[in-house]
Structure 1
Amino acid sequence: MNGFDPARLDEVLRDFAADKANFHSLLVERRGVMVAEAYKRGRDHAPWSPFRRDVAFDADTRHDMRSVSRTVTGLLWGIAQGQGLLPGLDTPVAGLYPELRKLAQRRRGLITIRHLLTMTCGLSWNEMHASSALNDELRLHWRAPAPYLFFHRLASPPGMRFNYNAGCTAVLGQLLARHTGVTLPEFARTQLFEPMGITDWVWDKDLRGRPLAFSGLHMRPSDLARLGRMVLRQGQWQGRAIVPADWLAQATRAHIDTGDGRQYGYHWWLGKVEALGGKHPWHAAFGNGGQRLYLVPSLDLVVVMTAGDYNKAEIGQQCSQLLKRVAGAILD
């Protein structure tokens, strides 16, 4: 089974089917071959709705990817930068917005595009109160991204501390649309999805009709796995360069510690998993509720998970354990 122990992988899949955690799918692809693809019924709900519905997930069901959208926005930024359409990464962000130019001579004027990509802008931001009015991410659904982000107080010098921040991605998405001349979904369609044969997706908008760069993407898990394989191939898909390889090399290396044993790149999480008697680095896209795209280059491994345990800390640990069990089933 492409380097897997069939009995151990079958055990993982049986336990996945019986798991009481609200997982919806598990896809395992190695060396370019889909080794396992499992779906099951589970509960799901939209970010703005408290009402859960029961869904029979299958290969044709689009899933809410939540903050996996941020990583995809980062890929789009890399594509546009490779085309020479965007400002350099060390460009101060406040100088790109007339309404923020008063900040350019203050410390907030030191925040650059690179700080947005690494979530190190230093501005106070709270996404921890997931379902309350104190959640800055929820407020972004009806606020103008750049003013809302930049009028938060500066809690630490830019570049010094990681703080997960939807506002960073919202501003990147807005700048990308401004400099490319098309909307974020349109740029995604023409420059990323269609060239890879990905057609079944939607990108939600906020209450003002603006695409939600930080949480709006819905797509099939198999298409997310396809994106992962493209990244493992250094941005190539069927002989075509999709994302510049030098961008991916920079985006998937550690730029800052997250404070929980992991690191962060340009909208990619980084960590390690045990397999074949050693620890193997991974980089991943994370989304609230248990959405995961794990890439393990040294194992030539892509693992996709979707779930519906939104705003629950335990699902993160369960995803990590599931990745560990999948990697542990590899024989060579």
Structure 2
Amino acid sequence: MNQISTFRVSSVMPAEVNIDAVKLQTALEQLPKLFPRLYCCLIARHGHIAAEQYYNGGEPERLNDLRSATKSVLSSLIGIAVHRGDMPPPDQPILPYLEEDMPVRSVTDEGWRRLTFRHLLTMTSGLHWQTGNRLGERWIHHFHNSSSWLRFALRLPVQPERHGQFQYRSIDSHLLSVLLTRCTGIRADEYAARHLFRPLGIPQYRWGLSPDGHAAGHIGLHLTGRDMLAFGQLILNEGQCLADSMNEGAPSSTAVIPLEWIRESLQPHVTGLPAFGHYGYQWWVHQVGSHDAACAIGHGGQLIYVIPSHALTVVFASNPRVCRWRHPKRWLEEWLLPSCR
């Protein structure tokens, strides 16, 4: 994959990264028509920003609500923690880290005893939940309105017939955040500040907390468009971040996320949903045209796209307070990719 030069430098002209400027401009002109609530769209190729557009009051300093795209950032934190020895490997059971808070019926539930970190990462826990084909979660508001998100989750039974099968379930992601804290002793947002945001040069962010004081694992992260792009580029570059340098010669490289974790995260571990693709470790994986792609998705049109074959990272941020929104996959296929030479 492609080395990033840095995301703290000026943009380049499209032609410098082998993008047809006329076709790109035509593609960008379609965005306000197709996505009327769009705040920003940023496109990077070969580690340089080729387009950066803002709409509807969006601006470079705006902290965008990533909604469920938060899940993909959390997955990276889990990978960092496993690599550092702060968390056990994915196939370890989760029960020992949660048992003190669990009701007796859950502790003695064989389904809970079989749950591993990998089940949560791939949303195959089997915890009792209902989700529609467009990712609408029937009980999500009850979950959010509860006084303790952790206790709410730990009271859910594991359905034997669903264990090991994919079901989009935000509770799985939130439990990962709780487990990260149980293993490391610090909240997920604080862990991110030390081990992910600092290497990327991200000083400004916001991450919401649950009523019982955990960083939300499934929603809650707010980043600027450029910082969303920096994270996507880090994934494209298989975890390698090139530090800014004023000295002559190539800047030094830092492994922020383990290469093995990124490759494992972007594998299609389970069949997902037709409208979104297969599922990796808190990432959606599918094809854009005939090209493999990975995508972090948040409600309302918060997306971080990584398309390795084209050395592309694409970010969208939109108004999340909508009932329905349009996925940009078709726009990528019909308008953006044809502009790449």
Q: Report TM bin, short chain.
A: 0.7 to 0.9
Give 1:282's match in structure 2, choosing from 289, 293, 297: 293
What does 1:219-238 align with in structure 2 at a 5 Å threshold?
219-238=223-242
Contact 1:141 1:206 in 2 (8 A): no
Question: In the aligned structure 2, how far is the partner of 1:94 from the partner of 1:171?
Answer: 11
| One-letter amino acid of the counterpart of residue 319, structure 2 | G
| One-letter amino acid of the counterpart of residue 330, structure 1 | S
Q: Deviations over 1:89-129 (max 9, x none)?
A: 12222332224365355223212110000011112213559
Give 2:182's match in structure 1, choosing from 172, 178, 185: 178
Give 1:10's match in structure 2, choosing from 25, 43, 49: 25
Structure 1 residues without counterparts, runs of 5 or longer: 42-55
Aligned to 1:315: 326
Contact 2:24 2:336 in 1 (8 A): no
Provide TM-score, normalisation by structure 1: 0.86
What does 1:31-42 align with in structure 2 at a 5 Å threshold?
31-41=46-56
| Offset at residue 165 of structure 1 (A) | 1.1
Aligned to 2:245: none
Question: In the aligned structure 2, how far is the partner of 1:141 from the partner of 1:201?
Answer: 24
Question: In the aligned structure 2, how far is the partner of 1:18 from the partner of 1:266?
Answer: 33
| One-letter amino acid of the counterpart of residue 135, structure 1 | W
Question: In the aligned structure 1, how far is the partner of 2:142 from the partner of 2:318?
Answer: 20
More deviation, 297-306/207-216: 207-216
| One-letter amino acid of the counterpart of residue 186, structure 1 | E
Residue 301 in structure 1 maps to residue 315 in structure 2: no
What does 1:197-236 align with in structure 2 at a 5 Å threshold?
197-236=201-240
* CA spacing shift, 1:188–1:20, aligned 2, 3 Å: closer
Question: In the aligned structure 1, how far is the partner of 2:129 from the partner of 2:322?
Answer: 17
Q: Deviations over 1:261-317 (max 9, x none)?
A: 61000001011112xxxx00101100011000000011110000011254534423x
SS of residue paired to 1:161 = coil
Contact 1:8 1:329 in 2 (8 A): yes
More deviation, 107-116/241-250: 107-116
Give 2:265's match in structure 1, choosing from 251, 254, 277: 251
| One-letter amino acid of the counterpart of residue 164, structure 1 | Y
Q: In percent, how many aligned pairs have the same letter?
A: 26
SS of residue paired to 1:88 = coil
* Count of paired positions: 311
Structure 2 residues without counterparts, runs of 5 or longer: 1-14, 243-252
Question: In the aligned structure 1, how far is the partner of 2:322 from the partner of 2:173?
Answer: 20
Aligned to 1:90: 91
Provide TM-score, normalisation by structure 2: 0.84
More deviation, 12-21/111-120: 12-21
SS of residue paired to 1:21 = coil
Contact 1:250 1:266 in 2 (8 A): yes
